[in-house]
Structure 1
Amino acid sequence: MAARAELEQFVRDALGAGHARDDIRRTMLVAGWRERDADRALAAFADVPFVPPVPRPRPFVSARDAAVYGLGFFALCVVVVNFVSLMFEVIESLVAGDPLGGRQLAWQVAAIVVFAPIFGVIDWRADRDSPVRKVLAYAALFFAALVVLFTLVSVIALVLMGGLSGEVALKALVVAGTAGGILLYYRRDLRADREI
Structure 2
Amino acid sequence: MAQRDELSIFVRDALAAGKSRAEITAALTHAGWRSAEVQDALNGWDEMPFSPPIPRPVATVSARDFFTYALTFCVLILGAFNLVVVLQALVDVVFATGDGGSDRSIRWGVAVLIVTGPMYLWLTLRERRKLARDPALYRSAIRKWMIYIGLLLAALTMLGDSIATIYALLTGDLTAQFVLKALVVLVVAGGIFAYYLRDLREEAPS
* TM-score between both structures, scaled by the size of structure 1: 0.74
Report the alpha carbon displacement of residue 153 of structure 1 after superposing the two structures with TM.
0.9
Residue type of the alignment partner of 2:67: A
Q: Secondary structure at the match of 1:52?
A: coil
Alpha-carbon distance in structure 1 between the residues aligned to 2:98 and 2:45: 65
State the partner residue of 2:141.
131
Q: CA deviation at 1:116?
A: 1.7
1:136-147 correspondence runs (5 A): 136-147=146-157
Distance 2:169 2:8 in 1: 53
Q: In the TM superposition, what are the counterparts of 1:79-158 in structure 2 within 5 Å?
A: 79-96=79-96, 102-124=103-125, 125-126=127-128, 127-158=137-168
1:3 deviation in Å?
11
RMSD over aligned Cα, in angstroms?
Answer: 3.6
CA contact (8 A) 2:95 2:177 kept: yes
Q: What per-residue deviation string (whole Å, max 9, x for no partner) do you get for residues 36-95 of structure 1?
A: x96x76653356664231324533322121111111011001110110001001111111
Q: Percent identity?
A: 37
| Residue 10 of structure 1: how far off its partner (Å) | 7.6
Local SS of the residue matching 1:128: helix
Structure 1 residue 154: deviation in Å? 0.9
Deviation at 1:104, TM superposition (A): 3.1
When the two structures are aligned, how many residues end up with a matched partner? 185
What is the TM-score of this pair, normalised by structure 2? 0.71
Amino acid at match of 2:195: Y
Tell me: CA distance 1:117–1:45, structure 2 relative to 1, closer, same or farther (3 Å). Answer: farther
Match of 1:174 in 2: 184
Q: CA–CA distance in 1 between the matches of 2:104 and 2:172?
A: 34
Unmatched tracts of structure 2, length 5 or more = 30-34, 129-136
Q: Which residue of 2 aligns with 1:78?
A: 78
Take 1:82 and 1:143, find their aligned partners in 2: how far apart are those partners?
A: 16
The AA in structure 2 aligned to 1:171 is K
2:58 partner amino acid: R
Q: Distance in 2 between matches of 1:107 and 1:157?
A: 30
